[in-house]
Copies of this chain bind each other. A is one copy, B any other.
Amino acid sequence: MFSGLSAFPLTPMQHGVIDETAFIGLIQRLADAGVDSIGALGSTGNYAYLTRKERASIAQLSVKHAGETPVIIGISALSIREVLALAEDAQEAGASAVLLAPMSYQKLSEDEVFGLYKVVTRALSVPLCVYDNPGTTHFEFSDELHGRIAELPSIGSIKIPGVPAAPDVAKERVERLRALIPSRVTIGVSGDPLAAVGLNAGCEAWYSVIGGLFPQTALAITRAIQAGDSQEALRISERLAPLWGLFSQHGGSLRVVATAAELQGLAASPSLPLPLRGLEGEDRQGLARLLDELQLT
């Protein structure tokens, strides 16, 4: 489950509530495309902006409409109490795995983060993917901490925030982490712009944002690498360079991908939970032109 393409769909909103029809559409699109797993309620799924009840409902809808595709559900929250409640909801919904980030308000210590994973893995009957995303959690994992956590039962994968751009440096980075964790734990890259580099460097999975909206495109990159054709993977990824440029210009992938979903008719506009806003004006028109040109699927 923690290998190949794991696609992370948006959770589109409409008038302040979840747009269930749009969400089901996204899930079916991913299952039809044949992604290796679906990661609902990640950062792209706006988990942090939803209530427990909404998250339970998204977990249920995901499992129901994913068919045979395994579903990973994000259970991150600021308090351990809430994480445990969300874990229960996800397991009851039939999730195949859960994803947990050390979300923070007060800056967390290494001991506090280790304590979080220790308490939560004890309560789980499905595997857990450690979600390392300092850009949103403001917690920096050391490789040593990853090693300690990866020894806990139920840990199945580590979602790393990205890899260095230079292929040999990326390979060294993945190997350094690999040496500290059990072989049963996979390493998955996120940060779409360098995903092809990360897969080439030895990451077994790609936890993908564009995979949640354009699964065929992300699958083409993933399958090329799995077939040993890394040149083809890099070629497809480089064709998307203008999209990667927009990600850095707009503070990450979320606002760009949500606006793309709206422009493609896969979500109503606006689809982000306030205070977040999608691209407007000239930025939005530029994205529309780019999508016309790239014809992603």
A interface, by DSSP: helix, strand, loop or mixed? loop
Query: How many identical chains are in the complex?
Result: 2
Q: Judge if A119 is at the interface, Cβ distance under 8 Å.
A: yes
Contacts A16-B81, A78-B48, A81-B16 given; does A43 touch B277 at CB 8 Å = no
Q: Judge if A103 is at the interface, Cβ distance under 8 Å.
A: yes
From residue A128, how far is it (CB to closest CB) to chain B in Å? 15
Instruction: Determine the chain B residues whose CB is within 8 A of the CB of A103 once the complex forms.
Output: 105
Query: In the complex the two chains form, is B135's CB within 8 Å of A274's CB?
Result: no
Q: Judge if A109 is at the interface, Cβ distance under 8 Å.
A: yes
Query: In the complex the two chains form, is A275's CB within 8 Å of B136's CB?
Result: no
Q: Which one of A49, A106, A276 has the highest number of Cβ atoms from chain B below 10 Å of its Cβ?
A: A106
Query: In the complex the two chains form, is B107's CB within 8 Å of A135's CB?
Result: yes
Contacts A80-B275, A274-B79 given; does A49 touch B108 at CB 8 Å = no
Contacts A48-B78, A78-B49, A79-B49 given; does A106 touch B276 at CB 8 Å = yes
Instruction: Determine the chain B residues whose CB is within 8 A of the CB of A119 once the complex forms.
Output: 274
Instruction: Determine the chain B residues whose CB is within 8 A of the CB of A292 once the complex forms.
Output: none
Give complex CA distance A111, B251 in Å. Answer: 13
From residue A10, how far is it (CB to closest CB) to chain B in Å? 13
Instruction: Determine the chain B residues whose CB is within 8 A of the CB of A146 once the complex forms.
Output: none
Query: In the complex the two chains form, is B138's CB within 8 Å of A254's CB?
Result: no
Give complex CA distance A103, B109 in Å. Answer: 20
Q: Judge if A220 is at the interface, Cβ distance under 8 Å.
A: no
Query: Across the two chains, which residue of chain B brings its CB closest to A114?
Result: B275
Interface string of A66-87 (1 = CB under 8 A from B): 0000000000001111100000
Instruction: Determine the chain B residues whose CB is within 8 A of the CB of A102 once the complex forms.
Output: 275
Give complex CA distance A9, B108 in Å. Answer: 21
Q: Which one of A78, A105, A254 has the highest number of Cβ atoms from chain B below 10 Å of its Cβ?
A: A105
Query: In the complex the two chains form, is A251's CB within 8 Å of B106's CB?
Result: yes
Q: Judge if A94 is at the interface, Cβ distance under 8 Å.
A: no
Q: Judge if A116 is at the interface, Cβ distance under 8 Å.
A: yes
Query: In the complex the two chains form, is A107's CB within 8 Å of B49's CB?
Result: no
Q: Judge if A25 is at the interface, Cβ distance under 8 Å.
A: no
Query: Across the two chains, which residue of chain B brings its CB closest to A115?
Result: B275
Q: For window 104-135 of chain A, which residues contact chain B by CB distance below 8 Å?
A: 105-109, 111-113, 115-116, 119, 135
Q: Judge if A252 is at the interface, Cβ distance under 8 Å.
A: yes
> Which residues from chain A sit less than 8 Å from chain B, CB to CB?
16, 43, 48-51, 78-82, 102-103, 105-109, 111-113, 115-116, 119, 135-136, 138, 251-252, 254, 273-277
Given contacts A106-B276, A115-B274, 10 further A-B contacts (CB under 8 A): A43-B105, A43-B106, A81-B274, A106-B136, A106-B251, A107-B252, A109-B277, A111-B277, A112-B277, A115-B275
